[in-house]
Structure 1
Amino acid sequence: MEIQFVAGFGPISREPGPALDFWSGDLGIGFHELAPDYHHADDLAGTKAFAIWPLAQAAESTFGTPEWPADRPVPQAWIEFELASPDAVAAGAEELRGRGLEILSGPKTEPWGQTTARFLSPEGLLVGLSHLPSFHDEG
């Protein structure tokens, strides 16, 4: 697996209001709202995306339900590593499965066109392998 870059990073918040107050108000990061309570900064130097991801949305994207499973550590942050193609995401997920990691979701194509596979790190960080076509010079 060849990671090309960090596609995005950010906190996972149980309560988006206080999180936005801290990250935007206290730290001055400029966000725009891509979905209800999903605040995204795509012009922060050093990353393609920095976003406050509500826990319910992370659970929905990972498990298909807005409730995080009680038998899993609740992540406080997420990080996605960008790969070269959707096929590379699938191969990366298989490589990690072969090493004994549990892939929680994917590889799958999200409604916005991003291919993802997600798993938890030993620290409980929600980690994704991803490919978002707009991050690449494709065509």
Structure 2
Amino acid sequence: MTTDLNEIDVLFVAGFGPVMRDTAISKAFYKDTLRLPLKHMEGNSDYMMTDVDVLAGVKHFALWPLSQAAQSCFATEEWPEDIPVPQGWVEFEVQDIEKATEILIKKGYQLLIDKRLEPWGQTVTRLLSPEGLLTGVTITPWLRSDAS
């Protein structure tokens, strides 16, 4: 099989959800009103998520506080004023993060972070999509079917 060096090989949607500006209001809507099976991430009382494959059709759904998204992208809890504030986030699991990142750069997308290994073990390149979604291409070992 020949692989096109200009195409990113997306395996699946690794996760998605809103970026919260007001944690209490978002939690009330998603957890209390919609009754989604959300729990706090260990060691993080504001990040609420589903376990893998608990919500049908979803690998990972989470409410991500804006301050934590800013910390992940910019190493500060404040989102920069000169970059549009995202309303949501989505991550696409890719076969090859090096290749995916290279293609995004070649196509002129402005990366916020480049192949960074997060403390929770995920490798991610992040950027804002044309619609303003905080978008990641990722390697998330525990979401892959070949994970042991």
Whether TM-score is above 0.5 comes out as yes
1:113 equivalenced with 2:147 (yes/no)? no
Query: Which residue is equivalent to 2:147?
Result: 138
RMSD over aligned CA atoms reads 0.9
1:39 equivalenced with 2:45 (yes/no)? no
Larger Rg: 2
1:81-135 CA-partner distances (Å, limit 9, x unpaired): 0113xxx112101101100101110211001110000000111100000111111
5 Å-filtered alignment, 1:72-111, equals 72-84=83-95, 88-111=96-119
Q: Which moved more, 1:27-36 or 1:53-62?
A: 27-36
Q: State percent identity of aligned pairs.
A: 45
Q: How many residues align?
A: 136
Say which SS state the counterpart of residue 110 (structure 2) adopts: coil
1:54 equivalenced with 2:54 (yes/no)? no
C-alpha separation in 1, matches of 2:13 and 2:93: 6
Query: Which residue is equivalent to 1:15?
Result: 22
1:10-38 CA-partner distances (Å, limit 9, x unpaired): 00001111101000111110111001200
C-alpha separation in 1, matches of 2:98 and 2:70: 21
C-alpha separation in 2, matches of 1:102 and 1:59: 16
* Partner residue of 1:67 out of 67, 72, 78: 78
C-alpha separation in 2, matches of 1:91 and 1:47: 25
What's the TM-score once normalised by structure 1's chain length? 0.94
Say which SS state the counterpart of residue 10 (structure 2) adopts: coil
**What residue identity is the alignment partner of 2:81?**
A
C-alpha separation in 1, matches of 2:87 and 2:117: 24
C-alpha separation in 2, matches of 1:44 and 1:20: 16
Structure 2: gaps spanning 5 or more residues: 1-7
What's the TM-score once normalised by structure 2's chain length? 0.89
